[in-house]
């Protein structure tokens, strides 16, 4: 079981939580904490073993922690996800391979695409693929169809694996901090379309990728993971794009690992990451 807590900081919080767990005969395997001194905010992740009555544990923790405490008690079993795609295969194929060999730390429920390009690879891995076209329909109709498909499953998270459609705030509100996106640049630089062309024209010496939670503000949600690699004057935009796809795959894989193991705590538009 994993317990994640964030609340106002005060003296003795680690001891307080430890005492509650000890009284319930719950053994602590690992404990990571962080205090944001600017906001006086306390963050804690505890991994435990031993039988526990989570129904009774939650009120016990609430009783001894500050009134504004946000407490989540999550079982170890794997998360469930739905993957949204368009035409690019690199992130999806990595997810499907990890899912097949049970190293994803989650189970792919289905893949939804607004083009049929990636249906074949899903069939090869025996993963249901649903086509929901955005063409010749309104954005509202498209998102209504998308939502209808998603609600047929019980997904903990939606993963945008190069899903090249901007989701409306109305849609995003159905999944607060449950939509994970991989962006093909080192945010906040070069947001929007054609980031590698932008990077090439600017003459940058580093390119990267960013995984973040999706919010109402385009490409500005809380950042989960980022990575960069060096480039030089010999790189064409195509070279940059090719290298960028490798980074995108790597960063998304790392972000999913962190999220699925409950190592990310969101506060405002920032994240605390217990790697």
Distances, alpha carbon 216 to alpha carbons 4, 176, 193, 221, in Å: 25, 10, 18, 8
**Whether the bond into 157 is cis, omega within 30 of 0:** no
CA–CA distance, 184 with 209 (Å, rounded to integer): 5
Give yes or no: 219 in active site: yes
Pick from 142, 156, 74: nearest CA to 109:
156
DSSP tag of 233: T
**Nearest-angstrom CA–CA distance, 261 and 99:** 15
Kindly name the residue from 36, 145, 216, 219 that is annotated as catalytic.
219
Contact status, residue 93 vs residue 100, Cβ threshold 8 Å: no
Supply the residues annotated as catalytic: 219
């Amino acid at each position: 079981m994993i317990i994640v807590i964030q609340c106002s900081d005060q003296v003795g919080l680690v001891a307080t939580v430890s005492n509650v767990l000890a009284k319930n005969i719950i053994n602590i395997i690992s404990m990571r904490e962080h205090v944001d001194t600017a906001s006086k905010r306390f963050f804690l992740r505890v991994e435990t073993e031993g039988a526990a009555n989570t129904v009774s544990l939650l009120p016990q923790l609430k009783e001894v922690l500050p009134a504004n405490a946000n407490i989540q008690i999550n079982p170890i079993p794997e998360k469930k996800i739905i993957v949204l795609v368009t035409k690019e295969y690199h992130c999806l194929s990595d997810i499907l391979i990890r899912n097949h060999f049970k190293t994803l730390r989650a189970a792919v429920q289905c893949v939804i695409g607004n083009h049929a390009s990636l249906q074949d690879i899903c069939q090869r891995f025996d993963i249901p693929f649903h086509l929901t076209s955005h063409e010749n329909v309104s954005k509202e109709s498209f998102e209504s169809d998308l939502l209808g498909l998603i609600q047929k499953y019980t997904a903990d998270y939606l993963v945008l694996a190069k899903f090249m459609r901007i989701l409306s705030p109305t849609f995003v509100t159905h999944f607060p901090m449950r939509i994970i996106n991989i962006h093909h640049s080192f945010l906040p630089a070069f947001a929007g379309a054609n980031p590698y062309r932008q990077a090439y024209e600017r003459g940058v010496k580093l390119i990267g990728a960013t995984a973040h939670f999706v919010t109402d503000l385009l490409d500005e949600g809380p950042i989960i993971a980022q990575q960069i690699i060096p480039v030089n004057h010999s790189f064409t935009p195509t070279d940059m794009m090719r290298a960028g796809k490798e980074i995108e795959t790597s960063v998304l894989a790392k972000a999913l690992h962190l999220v699925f193991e409950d190592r990310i705590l969101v506060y405002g538009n920032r994240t605390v990451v217990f790697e």
